[in-house]
Structure 1
Amino acid sequence: MAFPLPRPAAPELPKKLIRTLDCRQGTVRAVRFSADGHYCITCGSDKTLRLWNPLTGRLLKTYTGHGYEVLDTVGSFDNSQLASCSGDKTVILWDVASGQSVRRFRGHVGKVNCVDFNEESTIVVSGSIDGSARCWDTRSRRANAVQTLSEARDGVSSVRVSPHEIVTGSVDGRVRRYDLRVGKLHSDYIGCPLSNVALSRDGQCVLAASLDSTLRLLDKETGELLGEFTGHEASSYRVECCFSERDTHIVCGSEDGRVCFWDLLEGSKVLELPVGKGVISSLAFHPSAPALLTTHSAAVQLWREESYELEDVTT
């Protein structure tokens, strides 16, 4: 006789503040978890990147080499490299262990807003205010981009890379999906400047944050609008959005110091985190646990579920 499988436990949301990192690098422009979730990377207005243990608050490494504030960063799948972009129009590839820059990519003619690795971390894709997304080969000494995507009519504010696709969000109000298998471009018109895009972990949906204080959930293959989420403030500044570790919730920062959570299926707002005063511009969800990183001015906060107890860790 077969017995039904037990129902999965209800997802827990990160409500409890565990740690606050005083990053000491001016305004923190972006925060990201490493691929395994053990570390986090911050970049700031003081032109540096910093690698942290978020549980202990310990600073592990500082990376310097940009000539202007660093606007975004991302870690490779094996945690051996970082990529960063800056207002100095460059993209830098870093060796995590040594703290040294491995490659510096030039070609954008305006500040570079965003970067992401492909699945194998052999390509870095960057998006710029110059309206282009450029692909850089991390394995060769080639100075020029291996491909330039220049269809945007305004700045590219966000870029995400899946195993065979590049998804960009632009200030011209369009989400563009480049299918690398067949060389085809799909474009979905939102109608309002986009500040951020995110891919669901199952690869089926795109979440777009726009400057009309609305999040839109799109079917990635068809462009169909699956839902709209409101209740946060985002009309003047770039705020980031993401999915929870199990794709059950949508998360977004707000200009009034909150981080908001919505149930993905029901569309209802289920939680507001009062992080601070002012814009919550960057956030990152842990790849496999209910853990959230948020930025507020010069600090980064680590949030966990209410049942979580911080262990005595020293590394």
Structure 2
Amino acid sequence: MASLPTKVTQTLDCKQRAVRAVRFNADGNYCMTCGSDKSVKLWNPHNGLPLKTYVGHGYDVFDAKSSVDNAHLCSCGADKQIILWDVATGQILRKFRGSIDACVYAWDCRSRKNAPVQALNEAKDSVSSIQISDTEILTGSVDKYIRRYDVRNGKMTADCIGQPVTSINFTKDGQCTLVSSLDGKLRLLDKDTGELLGEYTGHQNTQYVIDNCLNEKDTHVISGSEDGKIYFWDLIEGSITTTDKAGPGAVHSISFHPLESCMLSASETQVHVWREPSYQTES
């Protein structure tokens, strides 16, 4: 438990009203916060310094993701726009028109065309979560299914969870999927067979979209909760290892560093940076 990030080392003063999401960039050196003030902000979370603000959305920004080389970031919002940004200059490179429905759209950012090159429309209700690996697209939907699309062969596989899905993730080794749903459970599934490998309970998740993730070593399952706490479970045993109070309201967004024991959490207007208890803040 000593290696888990249970100590708050920074609190980011976002000034974005409600923070909708917080995400590490690809290498974990920076992070993005998405606000209900229509902005995306880039931070150095390790010293708490804001670096740049990106303004272009018409309504709340729901989420953001950095490119693998960290040169670009992509954000989506309640205005149904997907914006591709140049990280260094803050300029808008492309805008795509999306939707808030049961479809997943894919665009070619190298093309001048704004129309999507593909639409994945198998879901019967809203798509609540999406993750992308090198060769696969994983989606979770309120229709109680997760769907995995292999872009190499065009094959789609679906697994019924039995409850509305709120968050999905690949494990770091790419062999399993972690699924959160509105019955207050997380489920670990074998990615290829859909076999249930583990269940994790004890947190509260019956109303909101609550993020899940795994730590950098795939040894612990982590989730936010509607009771303002962050929960850690042992991946193999399924038992709660520890909980930490993280906010005045639901902890809806969490993000784990790709290589280190470091985590971000968002609750209402607060964003915390977490480290292991022995970590010494740099002066």
TM over 0.5: yes
Match status 1:253 vs 2:224: yes
| 2:245 corresponds to | 274
CA distance in 1: counterparts of 2:241 and 2:73, whole angstroms: 34
Aligned residues: 283
| 1:141 corresponds to | 112
Match among 187, 209, 214 for residue 180 of structure 2: 209
Higher relative contact order, chain-length normalized (CA < 8 Å, sep 6+): 2
SS in 2 for 1:92: strand
1:146-170: CA deviations, max 9, x gaps?
A: 1100000000000011111100000
Deviation at 1:276, TM superposition (A): 2.1
SS in 2 for 1:137: coil
Match among 164, 171, 177 for residue 200 of structure 1: 171
TM-score (norm 2): 0.98
Match among 91, 103, 111 for residue 94 of structure 2: 103
Q: CA RMSD in A?
A: 1.0
The letter for the 1-side match of 2:31 is C
SS in 2 for 1:98: coil
State the 4+ residue runs in structure 1 displaced beyond 3 angstroms.
none
1:172-229: CA deviations, max 9, x gaps?
A: 0000001112111100001111111011111011001000000010000111111110
Match status 1:51 vs 2:36: no
Contact 2:61 2:77 in 1 (8 A): yes
Match among 1, 11, 15 for residue 24 of structure 1: 15
SS in 1 for 2:9: strand
Deviation at 1:142, TM superposition (A): 1.5
| 2:209 corresponds to | 238
Aligned residue runs from structure 1 range 1-315, under 5 A: 12-106=3-97, 108-110=98-100, 130-312=101-283
TM-score (norm 1): 0.88
Unmatched runs of 5 consecutive residues or more in structure 2: none
The letter for the 2-side match of 1:175 is I
CA distance in 2: counterparts of 1:311 and 1:277, whole angstroms: 27
CA distance in 2: counterparts of 1:176 and 1:245, whole angstroms: 24
CA distance in 2: counterparts of 1:286 and 1:185, whole angstroms: 30
CA distance in 1: counterparts of 2:252 and 2:11, whole angstroms: 16
Deviation at 1:271, TM superposition (A): 0.8
Unmatched runs of 5 consecutive residues or more in structure 1: 1-9, 111-129
Deviation at 1:11, TM superposition (A): 7.1
Contact 1:11 1:248 in 2 (8 A): no
CA distance in 2: counterparts of 1:299 and 1:138, whole angstroms: 33
1:96-143: CA deviations, max 9, x gaps?
A: 00001100011x343xxxxxxxxxxxxxxxxxxx10111111222120
CA distance in 1: counterparts of 2:137 and 2:12, whole angstroms: 32
CA distance in 2: counterparts of 1:78 and 1:285, whole angstroms: 18
The letter for the 1-side match of 2:86 is D
| 1:6 corresponds to | none
CA distance in 2: counterparts of 1:155 and 1:242, whole angstroms: 21
1:237-261: CA deviations, max 9, x gaps?
A: 1100001001000000000100000
SS in 2 for 1:46: coil
